[in-house]
Amino acid sequence: MSPLSSKFLTLWALIFLLILGGCTSTNTNEFAGKTSVRVELSPTLDYLSPAIQACALQSGRLNILLEEKPASEMGKTNADVSLLWGDRKVPEGMRTFRLGYDRLVFAAHTDNPIDRLTVGQAFLLYRAGFETWDEAIEQLCPDCKTGETISGRFIEAWHYTPGTDIHAEIASLSAAYPASNIHRTFIAPAPANLAEALSNNPVAIGWLPARWLNNKMKEIAIDGLDPYAQIIPVVAAVPDQPDDLLVQWLHCLQSSYGN
């Protein structure tokens, strides 16, 4: 190899090392000076994900490591913060801070003619006490007109899996009402699944956080149910007293929640 070729290769080797070193430095320094915070998020609060990251960016000093998991699995892996919908599944020994509140509503597709039920009727319908919508509407709303999108069709009552925070809140409302004969029920792992079903399927029905409602769904008013029982706190649970940086982040989440 000629001396010129040798010098040319050496030059390119130096350039490559400088580029590689620059990339390594960028990756290494991306989180330099930031505090990593492990956050457990209930799937019921999936809509909070953008605010969680936006508040971390606003701080400029936090690196959020976000993991969705059911409430029954929270508090088992030494996370710094657990975010839950409701306070019935807060891990034992943790301190809670309220970020805001939501409402638990009985929801249906906008094609559903039923607008109001008693609480007993709502749980009879939710527990699939009727098999078809024609049968249910005849008993529950005889003056209602059954549209072609639900006439002659089976009711699809959607339930959440045990261990989720929203399942615990529904169970607390329904304890006074005995179970009916089960005909046809469906499982929703999270409110996002139920919201999709209600939006696209006029025969679906179920309990949903009000924040998941859209223009294809409606709330069915419930007579005889304490309105305050439908108000559900959104809480942050922490194992220890949060430091100033975490307090600022929690306050940002609280402000973004809007109530």
Judgement on whether residues 147 and 55 belong to the same structural domain of the protein: no
The answer to whether residue 39 is domain-embedded is yes
The answer to whether residue 139 is domain-embedded is yes
**Confidence at residue 176, expressed as pLDDT on a 0 to 100 scale:** 61
**Confidence at residue 65, expressed as pLDDT on a 0 to 100 scale:** 95
The answer to whether residue 7 is domain-embedded is no
Give 217's contacts (C-beta < 8 A, 6+ positions apart).
Answer: 107, 108, 109, 110, 195, 198, 199, 208
Judgement on whether residues 239 and 224 belong to the same structural domain of the protein: no
- State the CATH number of the domain containing residue 201: 3.40.190.10
Residue ranges making up the domain that contains 72 = 35-102+232-257
The string of pLDDT tens digits covering residues 130-150 is 889 999 999 999 999 888 999
15 vs 63, more confident: 63
pLDDT at 5 exceeding the cut of 80: no
Residue 75's pLDDT band (cuts 50, 70, 90): confident
The answer to whether residue 12 is domain-embedded is no
| Spatial contact of 62 and 35, defined as CB atoms under 8 Å apart | yes
Judgement on whether residues 73 and 169 belong to the same structural domain of the protein: no
The predicted model gives 86-97 an average pLDDT of 91
pLDDT at 169 exceeding the cut of 50: yes
Judgement on whether residues 202 and 238 belong to the same structural domain of the protein: no
Q: How many domains does the chain have?
A: 2
Residue 86's pLDDT band (cuts 50, 70, 90): very high
**Cα dist. 48→44, 84, 89, 128, 221 in Å?**
9, 11, 18, 32, 26
Q: Of the candidates 46, 62, 48, which has an alpha carbon nearest to the alpha carbon of residue 242? A: 62
The answer to whether residue 11 is domain-embedded is no
The string of pLDDT tens digits covering residues 7-40 is 443 444 444 444 444 443 333 334 457 889 999 9
| Spatial contact of 122 and 158, defined as CB atoms under 8 Å apart | no
The string of pLDDT tens digits covering residues 196-253 is 999 999 999 999 999 999 999 999 999 998 889 999 999 999 999 999 999 999 999 9
Q: What are phi and psi of 195, to 5 degrees?
A: -60, -40
Judgement on whether residues 111 and 98 belong to the same structural domain of the protein: no
181 vs 83, more confident: 83
The answer to whether residue 13 is domain-embedded is no
**Cα dist. 97→22, 32, 48, 57, 238 in Å?**
42, 29, 16, 21, 8
The structure's pTM equals 0.82
**Confidence at residue 105, expressed as pLDDT on a 0 to 100 scale:** 97
- Measured over all CA atoms, what is the biggest interatomic distance in the chain, rounded to whole angstroms? 98
Q: Cα separation of 137 and 143, whole Å?
A: 8
Judgement on whether residues 64 and 179 belong to the same structural domain of the protein: no
Reduce the secondary structure of the chain to three states and give it as a string: CCHHHHHHHHHHHHHHHHHHHHHHHHHHHCCCCCEEEEEEECHHHHHHHHHHHHHHHHHCCEEEEEEECCHHHCCCCCCCEEEEECCCCCCCCCEEEEEEEEEEEEEEECCCCCCEEEHHHHHHHHCCCCCEHHHHHHHHCCCCCCCCCCCCCECEEEEECCCCHHHHHHHHHHCCCCCCCCCCEEEECCHHHHHHHHHHCCCEEEEEEHHHCCCCEEEEEEECCCHHHHEEEEEEEECCCCCHHHHHHHHHHHHHHCC
The answer to whether residue 171 is domain-embedded is yes
Residue 109's pLDDT band (cuts 50, 70, 90): very high
| Spatial contact of 95 and 171, defined as CB atoms under 8 Å apart | no
Judgement on whether residues 119 and 162 belong to the same structural domain of the protein: yes
**Confidence at residue 59, expressed as pLDDT on a 0 to 100 scale:** 84
Judgement on whether residues 211 and 240 belong to the same structural domain of the protein: no
Classify the C-alpha dihedral 101-228-180-138 as positive or negative: negative
Judgement on whether residues 81 and 123 belong to the same structural domain of the protein: no
The answer to whether residue 211 is domain-embedded is yes
Which residue in the block uniquely carries the two structure tokens 């089960």?
182
| Spatial contact of 119 and 256, defined as CB atoms under 8 Å apart | no
Judgement on whether residues 119 and 197 belong to the same structural domain of the protein: yes
Judgement on whether residues 125 and 214 belong to the same structural domain of the protein: yes
